[in-house]
Structures are given as C-alpha cells and as structure tokens.
Structure 1
Amino acid sequence: MPLAAWTEHKKDGVEGRIEVINRAVERPENAHFIKANITTDGGAYGLSNEGFRGMGITANEDYNFSVMARQTAGSPVKMVIELHGDNGNVIAKTEITPTGNEWTRYAAKFTATATAKKAQLYVWLSGKGVIDIDMVSLFPQHTWKNRPGGLRADLVQKLADMKPGFLRFPGGCIVEGRELNNRYQWKKSIGDIDKRETIINRWNTEFKHRLTPDYYQSFGLGFMEYFLTAEDIGASPLPILNCGMACEFNTGELVPLNSLDPYVQDALDLIEFANGDSNTKWGKLRADLGHPAPFNLKMIGVGNEQWGEQYIDRWKVFTKAIKSKYPAIKIVSALGPDPGGEKFDLLNKTFRSLGADILDEHYYAVPKWFRDNATRYDNYDRKGPKIFAGEYAAQSISTGNPDNKNTWECALAEAAFMTGLERNADVVNMASYAPLFASVDGWQWTPDLIWFDNLRSYATPDYYVQQLYSLNKGNDVVPLQLNKQPVTGQNGTFATAVIDSQTKELIIKFVNTTPKPLNSDFLINGQKIKKQEGVLTTLQSDDIQQVNSLDNPAALSPVQQQLPILGNNISLLIKPYSFTILRIKMAN
C-alpha cells in the first residue's frame, strides 16, 4: 500500500510534491520508492511516519537512522531527521546530506531527550531539487544482543527466561497465506533487507472485529533472525513450511501435485541452509550472512492446519523427498485444526499407518476441556508417532472470541492439562502455547502468552505456567498416585512427579482447581530424601478471573519459599486455585 503510515508536510511556504515510483519490472522484490520534488528555496518539505501505532522512544537511548537515497544531478537537497514526542515536541534531531546520483545508504545516530509512547519520525527536505528516497529505517541502539536492526530486547528476554526446548516459526496460518501468492516463502525473508519482498499479512482482514487492511509483512524479521533467536535462547529450531496449500479456512487454493517440485525444493534447500557446510549453495549463503556454523536443524514441519486427502497426497511427496535426502530429519505432520472429529481421525489414522515421526495436535477450548482432557494421552500407542501439542490455549469465553482474557482460570486449567503431558512424556515430546505475542494496540486474536505496547511488556498467568513447567522439568517421570491411581482430577486435583538426575531432585507438581485449601500428605517410596530444606514455588490467586496487565504485570506471578524436609513423609497445605511445585533433594 503506497505511503501507508506516511503523511505529507510543508512549512515556511515551501512548495513541493512527491511521486510514488513503481519499478516492479526492475526490482519486483522492492517495487516502490519516493521521488521528492522541492520546487522552491527556503522552508522545508517533508514526510512523517507514524510507525506501528506510534513509535516507542526512550529518553537517553541512542537511535540509528538510515535511508537509501540518490540525488538528481545538481540538486543540493539536505535531509533533517526529527523525532516528535507524544506532545509534538522535537525530542531528537540529526542531519544527512546525500550526494551522488547512485543509490547509497546514509546513516546517522541521535539520542532521544524524552520518552514517548507514540512518537513519530519526520524527514524534512530543504533545498530546491529532486531526491529519491527508499528504505527509511529507525532502530534503537539497544536491541537483543545489540544487533543492528535487531529484535526488541525485552520481548526476546521473556522468551529466554522460559528456557524453551524449541522455537516454532514463523507461526501457523501465516505459513499458508489466504492465497498461495501471499504464503510465507523463507527464501524471500533472508539477505539484504531491501531485497525481502513485502506481502500483505494473512491476518489483515480475517476478523471483522479487528480489520487491519494496512497490515503488511516487511520481513525485517525473517528466517535468519528466527534461526539466530532460537540459537540465542538455547532452543531447537522448528521451521514450518507451506505444503502447496493455502489456508483451508479461506481459499484452500492448491498447487497441482505435478507442480509441487518448487515447494518441495524449498524444504530441501532450507535443510541445506540450516545444516549444510560452506561448500553447498545454501550453506555458503548462511556462512556469507555471518553464521559459518550449522544451526543443527533436526525437525521440520510440513503444513500447518491442513486436512483432507489433498493434504495427505502432498505430505507423501514431501516426506519421500525429505527422507530420501535427509533421513535423520524428523517431519512434523499436521492433524488439522481440531483435537477430534472426522478431519482429525482421517489424518491420525493415515499418518500412523504411514509411520509418521511427529503428529501436531491443536486445541483451543474452554478451561473445562483442558481439565477433562488431562488423561488424553494415557492410552496413546507407546510405539506410534510422537505427539507435538503444537498450538493450545484455554479460551475464557469461546474459541476466537475477541473478549477472551488471559485469566487465572484459563492458566490453571492449562496447568492441570499439562500434568497429563508430563505424565505421558514418552508420547508427548513437545508442547507450545499459542499465540506467542500480541500488541495491546494491534491484535487480531486473544488470548496470547505475552502482551506489549511500544514501551512495556508483561507476562500472563499462562506464561508463568509454561515457564514453571520448563524450569522444573526432569528426565524421568515417576508415578504419583492417590489410592493407587494417577492424580488426574480426583476432587479437582491434578499432579505429576519427575526426577532431575542432574540436580538429584524429585520435583512434584500439584494443581488445585478448587476454591478450598487441601491438606496433602506425600509418602515417597523407593528413594531416601535428604533432611534439608526443599524449594516450594506457588502460583496462586483466590480470584480465578485475575489477569496481569501493563500497569500491574506481576499481579499473579510465582512466589518461592524454603520448606523444611524432615524425611520421606511430607505434609503440605495446598492453597485454593493454585499451581504448586516442590523440589526435594534425594539422598542418592
């Protein structure tokens, strides 16, 4: 959309005009640039950019501005760059004087004098002449790992603090696109920023309650950045690729099977990009982009929420090609958008018969569903495919309702459900809440794990449930029983236990979904417990509608305390509506 977020300005009697030049034949991946004509001396002609619902600017932070520009011969046009704060005052300023008639990148740094939540960037042009402008960019100096043009540090830090085992990217339905020409193509998301082809976002007009027709993807965040982020936070990368099908909730557009080769080749090339040495075409590109070492890719997703025979047909083509060249790569296979029903049953039965590696199950449902399904995997085939709980989140009202909230009731139900995931860890290899991030000023779906505005961010109760499971996982599941049965909802309680052999600790997780405190006695058999202090972590609120917010980000957050351990008999008072974790040192 030409001039999206841009506004024209004139001051002190200057005259001028702008033209949006379409150079699609010459540069299809970056089809537009601005030609500015300043027709009078004196004053200034300019453009302002509002950013994405404004720009978050922090006082005393350095900001890096850059632009691609070229002057028409004889034009003395100078650029003055300003940041305007929330009240319109200038809070940062610098100058650039482009020279020459070839495209050149110009850069400058300035320091903000004030904090602004919704600042705007102004580019003023003075001097009679003509100048071409493209790739206007502004980034804080302080990004994640201070990478130029890098990711927002506080958001990535929240991911790192979870210590996730994997990072699934670039997302779900965004992989498919509403139509195939708007699908995510990883090769167009790497390399020079001005060569990354912009496309409209899959979610721009999906929901009538949040229409955002100007929602585009610039791919400033692309597959190289995703791989680097996964590496930074110690997570295995899990890229998801289009399988020749657009979103079946929209057009369901298909690539004919005899035309599928380019899609399959994209998958093979991605594996080479991630793991190939510098003697390979795509491994060399990775090295040229600054990462000579491989990313150690172990798994790849074929499709997102596809279903039906047409998906099975395309899955077979992908699987044959990938396994023939890279037999060690595990393939994640979709089981559709629902956790049951005809679509699910067809894929589940078929992929199991075909020896699939990992099956991707999705479930968005009310809290009761999660509590009721804590035993979902108890009877799954132990010799069949592994399970990836790829997308799930309890919905406080109904699936996809814009009024859903990240309530404590939802998070507590997820904690109960996850006892079943942990108890069946021999079947369920991976799990991830979805979606991950949402802007309070620009979202299409709720609930989401982490919320942010232009300056701040906060973790939801759901986030803390996920984090506590991640920080307290073991390598062996041990039985935790009540009356010789697993604790899977009796009297509203759910529990599981694991051993961390590295720290030599027994870790008990206990979820009380009732409004009453519970006196609970744990008798530990088969292992002597050290008589010392254990660590008790509690996530709790008496209000099941409790939420966190930007103004009160820790309204509900974990509380840790020491607990004297006197032997193998342990008595605990479990608080109402609570998720409790007890770590106990073992003698051996």
Structure 2
Amino acid sequence: MHCKKLLACATLLLCGYITSAQVQLTVQAGKPVTDVPPHMWGIFFEDINFAADGGLYAEMVKNRSFEFNSPLMGWKEVKQNNDTGHILIVNRQSANTANPRYAGITVNAPNGGYGLANEGFRGMGIHKGAQYNFSVWANAANGKQLQARIVLLDENGAPIGEAALSGFRDGWQVYKASLTATGAAAKGKLQLLFKGQGKIDIDMVSLFPDNTWKHRPNGLRADLAQMLADLHPGFIRFPGGCIVEGRELATRYQWKKTVGKPEERTLIVNRWNTEFAHRSTPDYFQSFGLGFFEYFQLAEDIGAAPLPILNCGMACQFNTGEVAAMNELDPYVQDALDLIEFANGDTTTQWGALRAHMGHPAPFHLTMMGVGNEQWDPQYIERYRVFEKAIKSKYPQIKLVSSAGPFSKGPMFDYLWKELKDTRADLIDEHYYMPPQWFLSNAARYDHYDRSKGPKIFAGEYAAHTKEGPEAESRNTWGSALAEAAFMTGLERNADVVKMASYAPLFAHVDAWQWRPDLIWFDNLRTVGTPNYYVQKLFSVNKGTQVVPILRNGEALAGKDSLYASAVIDANAHTVILKIVNAGAQPRSLQIALQGVKVPKAAQAGQQVLTASTTTINTLDQPQNIVPVTHQLTAGSRFTVNAAPASLNVITVPYR
C-alpha cells in the first residue's frame, strides 16, 4: 500500500511537471499589426574575401590587363622546347587613361613554346566537359604570321584543354576561341603560347566559363549567383561597405568607372588588400568587371530592389579620415544624381543612353539610395544634408538611407540619431557585429523604438561573432546563426519600425578571405551555404504579408526561458507562419492557439527545423551538416509543437 501511494504521488508530480513545462502561446492571426515590408530581408554585397574578382565575377584570369601595381603579378613567362622571347610592359597613359598598360611580346619560337601562363585567383576551377571562352585584345603589326595556342593545365601541369588562334593583324582587335576541358582541376592554370617569329602586343587576356549566370558574356559565376537567387532577397545593397569609402578618397568607389565596355573600366587597388596585416592579400584589386550595370542586372534577375550606397565625400574614418572640402563636394553629389539617371532615366538622357547602349533600354526602377556607408560626427551630417537637399529636390520619390555609424550605441550613435531625426532621411542604417549573447539579449531592441514620423531602421550589417580561441575571426557556427535567428524574430515583430535587414559580409573564398564569419563560402569549383545562410533563407522565403502578435501571457516572446518568436500571415497563400527559436539546451513543448482564422480540422502543417550542436559548421566537404529538415504535423485551432534544443522552427499552418 505504501509503495502504491508513492507511485501515485510520483505520477501526480510528473504530470504537474509536464503541464507546467508546456508553454502556452497565442497567435492573434486576425489582428495584423503591420504589413511586412516588401524589401524586408535582403543581401549585402561587398568586394571583400574575393567576393567579386575571383568570386561572383566569373573572369578566371587574374590581372588580365596588366594594371596591378606589379604589372606581371599573376603571370609567369613560359619557355619550352628551346624557344625564347621577351616581354615588355608598355604604358600608353596619354592614349588610354583607363587601361594604359599592355604586354609587348617579342617571339622567337619555331617550336611554339614561348608565352605566358596565368595562375588565376588561387588557381582556376575547371570542370571536366565544360566549355571555356577565351579572348584577347592584340595588335600584331610585326607578327601577322604568329600562331597561338591556348592551353588549360591541371594542378600537375598536364594539358586538359586546348584551342588555336591565328590570323593576327595590324591594329588593336579582339580575338576569340573556345575550348572544352578534357579533365578537371580545382587549381588549374592557363597558358598562352606563341609559335613563329615576330612581335605582338596583347591586353585584356580573358577566360570565362561558357556557363555563366544567364549565359551572359562578361558574366557572373552561375553557382554563386544561384545561391543569391535561392534566398529570394528583397534587395541587394551594393557595393558595400567600406569599399564605398576607400582608404583615401582617391581609391573610393566611383560608379562611373565601372560602366561601359569592360576594357575601358579603370582598375584600382582593393582597400582590403592591406587592411589586415595578418591576412595581407597583395594581389587583391578591383577590375570592376562586375560594375553597376551588372549589379542592376543581377538585382532585376532575382527580383530584388537595388540599394546602391555612394561615397559622400568621406574616406574611411578608421583609416585616413580624409574628407572632400565642402566647396568641392559638387562632383560627389552629381555622381549620385547621375546614378539615378543611369538607373531610371529616359534613353534620351546622357546616362540613360549609356544604359541602353549597354543592352538595357528599360529602366532599372531604382527607388532608394544610401548616402555614405559607416560615417559619423558633424562632418558626416554636414555633407549628408547637402546630398539630401540635392537628391530630394530633383528626385523626391527616392528614399534615402543615412548612417548611424559603426556602433550599436554610445555617444556617436546618439549624436547621429539626434541630428538625423531633423532631416528627411527615410532610413537610418544601424550595424552590429557582436557576440551571440548580444543578439539574444537584444531581441526586444526595437519593441520600444520611437514609432512617430521619424526615420525607420535599416539593419544594414549584422553578424554574430563567436570567440573560439586566439584568432580574431570566428567561424559560422550554428550557435552564431541561432542567435541571429532569435534577433531576427525581434526585427520581424517590429516590421513597422525595421523596414530592411541584411547579414554581412556575403561571400568568402576559402583560400583568400580577410574577414569571417561570412554567409556563403566557396572555392574555385564549389560553394556552401553556412547555417547563417539557411537562417536567412528560412526568414526570407517565409516572409508573409502582415505581422501578427504571438504572445505568452499577453507578452511578446523575446528571451524568457530561452524562447523567441514572431508570426506573420500570408494573405495570398492563406497561411499562418510562426518562427520560433529555442535557444536553450532542453526541448520545449509548445501549445499553440490560433485565434482569428479558421483552421481546417486535422490540417496538414509543415515544420521546417534547423538544429544541431551549437559548434556545428558546414564545409565544402560536408555541406549538409546543418540544413533545414521538414516535418509534417497535424494542426488545428490548437495544436502542439515540439521545439528541439538549439533550434529554429518555422511552422506553416493553412487557414480558410
């Protein structure tokens, strides 16, 4: 009898524990709070970590126009079969200011064994069976009888593809050839070998995969562009980031030098070339093959709104802090006005005509622009006001993004907010590169922001940085992505204040990175989405149309018991979408009550789950360590969801 009483008591205690442990959540699906902004979840592009040249821009030849500070960087002279020759770098600055250098080659090669080899960007990724398109600008006044071979080599120096060129003539002309790879290489090379005797000048030596994004010449690497398209981003911020500023004004990003013919674009040193001494990359330059036209085109391709950020007459304040004099600010302002004309102007205008000449007569429908990147202090406010007056006067429909500086709080942050509230800024760009705990603790950051007629928020750069050891950089662990997911529920819950958000940086080459963590990693052949990538994707593709309350005891769920949540409805698809983060180490049972909509009995709902150990990462060799897994569950006006430890759960429930 005594044992039976003990068992009964234990049973009652256990039942009581289960009841108290179950979390009751109410979703007021019939009471929309605000519309989800159309551009809510976007992407941030900056040419860091070889994101453009050597990355998204599909050109495989490094220093193709001999314009690096060391003109033959990336190139090596090739002498085979007792053949000889000589290479001379010629500068024609007065004749061609955008692309002054070329290689003058004297050839004495009866056996066809003299020329140049290019190493590519940490090698060249060559796919077996794929077609590659070679081109070169050449002038052969004294070498018309020369013949050339284009040869692809694997890592061991073995030929895996070849094509021939001949018929060289006097005067600069472009010559093309295509070749199919008979083998594969992750770090291959290209050889350009000449046969005969004579002299030939060459420039813009180029090799592209035929399979570029949308099969465009001078195009983008297809697999990396597809990774962006799969995110279904609402916007693309471009070109940065600190790239906008430059270490000094002379090396700032100038959009007019990135449009027109590729051979007429002016290469400059990349500001990340020497930014970090411990990860110096002396071969990091910007060819601008991926320029503003290609950017606008990509945004259009994937249905994203363009958000260009322009220099406001200020170099990076962490470097030189150089500023343009106020009486010399007009060219900077005119660049902003002209970019709007390039994007939207009629084809009878100067810059609209250039857009049409480049192959896009229709406008790109630019609606917003950022003035400065991460600037601060009175010198920024003074210059911002000049830009604002000029842009709003001529293009009042353009929404302007201004800077809250590089920090998430403090005197600098407070000063900028105070000043910008009195301007016509539409959005203020806040940045946070912080430890995961900061993101967990700040999920309610915007719950009490001013909802008056002042500027709204653009969470323009954020990423959770975990400290794993002595290295300054951190990896893309699931723990970092989980903290970002918790924070993003707060962004979504406050979509009336936070209008846009983007993780940063976007891309990183595994052999050529300067900064981590990053959203997408790649080598010359492969790409991998990080856990952070899949968090961004789950939020973006499940954006919904209106935010609705999801409450626990009448309060938003923003960290109590390590739980975080937001909810939207999709009025077009007739679904309620819940995003629930369990950041704790224990599983949680959640009882969901849906109010304000009619849910069919035993409705089939979906639960997409990301969960793993918080130290888990995805790699190129193991890209599926953590990816979303979908489970089916039965839902109704009340149903139960189990949230695994350290998990993001996206639950989609149909309603009538």
| Native 8 Å contact 2:86 2:107 kept in 1 | yes
Percent identical pairs in the alignment equals: 55
> Measured at CA, do residues 74 and 88 of structure 1 come closer, stay the same or move farther in structure 2, by a change above 3 Å?
closer
1:106 aligns with 2:175: yes
1:488 aligns with 2:567: no
Q: d(CA) in 2 for partners of 1:258 and 1:399?
A: 49
Match of 2:591 among 509, 514, 521: 521
Match of 1:134 among 173, 187, 203: 203
Match of 2:486 among 416, 424, 427: 416
1:152 aligns with 2:221: yes
Q: d(CA) in 2 for partners of 1:558 and 1:140?
A: 31
From the CA coordinates, give the structure whose radius of gyration is larger.
Answer: 2
Q: Show CA shifts across 1:425-477 (max 9, x none).
A: 00100000000000001010000000000000000000000000001112211
Runs of 4+ residues over 4 Å off in structure 1:
398-402
1:536 aligns with 2:607: yes
| Native 8 Å contact 1:538 1:578 kept in 2 | yes
Equivalent residues in 2 for 1:453-468 (5 A)?
453-468=523-538
| Native 8 Å contact 1:92 1:110 kept in 2 | yes
> Measured at CA, do residues 345 and 400 of structure 1 come closer, stay the same or move farther in structure 2, by a change above 3 Å?
farther
1:402 to partner: Cα distance? 4.2
2:156 partner SS: coil
Amino acid at match of 1:336: G
> Measured at CA, do residues 80 and 439 of structure 1 come closer, stay the same or move farther in structure 2, by a change above 3 Å?
same
Q: Show CA shifts across 1:135-160 (max 9, x none).
A: 00000100101111210111010110
Unpaired stretches in structure 2, ≥5 consecutive residues: 1-68
Q: d(CA) in 1 for partners of 2:185 and 2:150?
A: 17
1:509 aligns with 2:579: yes
1:93 partner SS: strand
Partner of 2:272: 203
1:208 to partner: Cα distance? 1.5
| Native 8 Å contact 2:108 2:114 kept in 1 | no
Partner of 2:259: 190
1:392 aligns with 2:462: yes
Partner of 2:437: 368
Q: Show CA shifts across 1:258-301 (max 9, x none).
A: 00111100000000000011111111111111101100000001
Q: d(CA) in 2 for partners of 1:510 and 1:314?
A: 43
How many equivalent residue pairs? 585
> Measured at CA, do residues 199 and 545 of structure 1 come closer, stay the same or move farther in structure 2, by a change above 3 Å?
same
1:403 to partner: Cα distance? 3.5
Partner of 2:89: 20
> Measured at CA, do residues 244 and 398 of structure 1 come closer, stay the same or move farther in structure 2, by a change above 3 Å?
farther
1:80 aligns with 2:145: no
| Native 8 Å contact 2:141 2:171 kept in 1 | no
Q: d(CA) in 2 for partners of 1:572 and 1:360?
A: 36
| Native 8 Å contact 1:178 1:246 kept in 2 | yes
Match of 1:322 among 391, 413, 420: 391
| Native 8 Å contact 2:142 2:200 kept in 1 | no
2:595 partner SS: coil
Partner of 1:583: 652
Partner of 2:322: 253
Aligned CA RMSD, in angstroms, stands at 1.3
Match of 1:305 among 370, 374, 399: 374
Partner of 1:60: 129
Q: Show CA shifts across 1:294-322 (max 9, x none).
A: 00000001110111100111101100000
Q: Show CA shifts across 1:238-270 (max 9, x none).
A: 011111111111001110010011110000000
1:355 to partner: Cα distance? 3.4
Q: Show CA shifts across 1:216-257 (max 9, x none).
A: 111111000100000001000001111111111100111001
2:515 partner SS: coil
| Native 8 Å contact 1:241 1:302 kept in 2 | yes
2:437 partner SS: helix
Partner of 1:288: 357
Amino acid at match of 1:535: G
Q: Larger deviation: 399-408 or 449-458?
A: 399-408
Match of 2:504 among 417, 434, 438: 434
2:385 partner SS: helix
Amino acid at match of 1:133: I
TM-score (norm. length: structure 1): 0.98
TM-score (norm. length: structure 2): 0.88
Q: d(CA) in 1 for partners of 2:168 and 2:533?
A: 50
Q: d(CA) in 2 for partners of 1:420 and 1:309?
A: 31
Q: d(CA) in 1 for partners of 2:528 and 2:83?
A: 45
Q: Show CA shifts across 1:104-128 (max 9, x none).
A: 0000001000110001000101211
1:49 to partner: Cα distance? 0.3
1:579 partner SS: strand
> Measured at CA, do residues 382 and 417 of structure 1 come closer, stay the same or move farther in structure 2, by a change above 3 Å?
same
1:15 to partner: Cα distance? 2.0
1:528 to partner: Cα distance? 2.0
Q: d(CA) in 1 for partners of 2:316 and 2:288?
A: 20
2:230 partner SS: helix
Partner of 2:476: 406
Equivalent residues in 2 for 1:463-474 (5 A)?
463-474=533-544
1:400 to partner: Cα distance? 12
1:25 partner SS: coil
Q: Larger deviation: 105-114 or 525-534?
A: 525-534
Partner of 1:44: 113
Q: d(CA) in 2 for partners of 1:407 and 1:43?
A: 52
Unpaired stretches in structure 1, ≥5 consecutive residues: none
Equivalent residues in 2 for 1:198-237 (5 A)?
198-237=267-306
Amino acid at match of 2:555: Q
